[in-house]
Amino acid sequence: MQKILIVEDDPTIADTVALFLRKEGYQTEKARDGVAGLELWRHYQPDLIVLDIGLPKLDGLEVLREIRTHASTPVIFLTARAEEVDELLGLGLGADDYISKPFSPRTLIAHIKAVLRRFGGGSYESPTVLKLGLLEVDTYRVMATVEQEPLNLTPTEFKLLHHLARTPGRAISRFELLEASMPESDALERAVDSHMKNLRHKLGEAGVPDLIETVRGVGYRLVSP
C-alpha cells in the first residue's frame, strides 16, 4: 500500500482527506504543523506528501525546501488562494502539483494518482538507458546521472529530461513538454518554466550547465553532445 502524508492544520480537511484516501486503499499519516510534518516525513517515508502552505511553526514553503535538500518525494501543495499558484511557480520550489482551496476530496485523489503515476507507476514503452555525453537517463530505474553521479530529480523533472533526451537537438514546445511530464494535471504551460529552472540548476551543479537551451518563442531543447 502506498503511503500518503497529510500536513494540514485544519483537522476537518485533514480528516476528510485521510478518510477518502483510506477508502482508495492508501495508508495515511497526518501532521498539524510543519515541524511535525518534517519529523513524520523522515520516519514514515511516505510515497507522497499533501502539504498545506499556511502551517504553524514552520510553513509549507520551508518544509518543502528542507525536503528538497534531501529527497525528491512527490509533493502536492494546498493553497488558500488560486493566485498563489503564480507566486509558487515563480519560486521554483519543485512541488509536483498545486490545488487551490476549497477542493473536493475526489479532485485531490485524482491529482494524487496522477503524480504517483508520474513518479513510478507509469510505464515506458521500453526500459532503456539514453546516453548523451556525460548524461545518462535510465527509464528502467527512473534515474538520471552525470558521470555516473545520480541527479536528485523530482518525478516531473525526470519526465522533462527524459522527453528532451529522446530527441536531442529538437526544439520542443512548452505545451508538448507539459503533456509529456504532467498529462493529467491542469497546470499551465508556465509550470514547465518553473520545473525547467530547477532542472537546469541541478544539471549545472552536476557540471553540465549548458545542456538545455531555451528556444525563443517555442520552448526548450537538449543540446546534442
Per-residue pLDDT of 90-130, as tens digits, reads 456 667 888 888 888 888 888 898 888 877 644 334 447 88
CB atoms within 10 A of CB 169: 11
Q: How confident is the model at residue 87 (pLDDT cuts 50, 70, 90)?
A: low
pLDDT at 133: 86
Query: Mapped to the 3 state alphabet, what secondary structure does the chain carry?
Result: CCEEEEECCCHHHHHHHHHHHHHCCCEEEEECCHHHHHHHHHHHCCCEEEEECCCCCCCHHHHHHHHHCCCCCCEEEEECCCCHHHHHHHHCCCCCEEEECCCCHHHHHHHHHHHHHHHHHCCCCCCCEEEECCEEEECCCCEEEECCEECCCCHHHHHHHHHHHHCCCCCEEHHHHHHHHCCCCCCCCHHHHHHHHHHHHHHHHCCCCCCEEEECCCEEEECCC
Provide the residue ranges of all domains of the chain, joining segments of one domain with +: 3-121, 129-222
pLDDT at 79: 82
Of the ranges 7-21, 36-50, 93-107, which one carries the lowest mean pLDDT score? 93-107
In the predicted model, is pLDDT for residue 81 greater than 70? no
Per-residue pLDDT of 209-221, as tens digits, reads 889 999 988 899 9
Q: How confident is the model at residue 36 (pLDDT cuts 50, 70, 90)?
A: very high
What residues have CB less than 8 Å from 84, skipping those under 6 apart? 53, 100
Mean pLDDT for the chain overall: 84
Topology classification of domain 129-222:
Arc Repressor Mutant, subunit A (1.10.10)
Q: For domain 3-121, which CATH number applies: 3.20.20.70, 1.20.1250.20, 3.40.50.2300, 3.40.50.300?
A: 3.40.50.2300
The residue to which cell 507566486 is assigned: 87
Before 102, cis peptide (omega within 30)? yes
> Per the confidence metrics, is the pTM higher than 0.75?
no
Per-residue pLDDT of 173-208, as tens digits, reads 888 888 878 766 666 777 888 889 989 999 999 999
Question: What is the sign, positive or negative, of the torsion defined by CA atoms of 56, 110, 190, 95?
Answer: positive
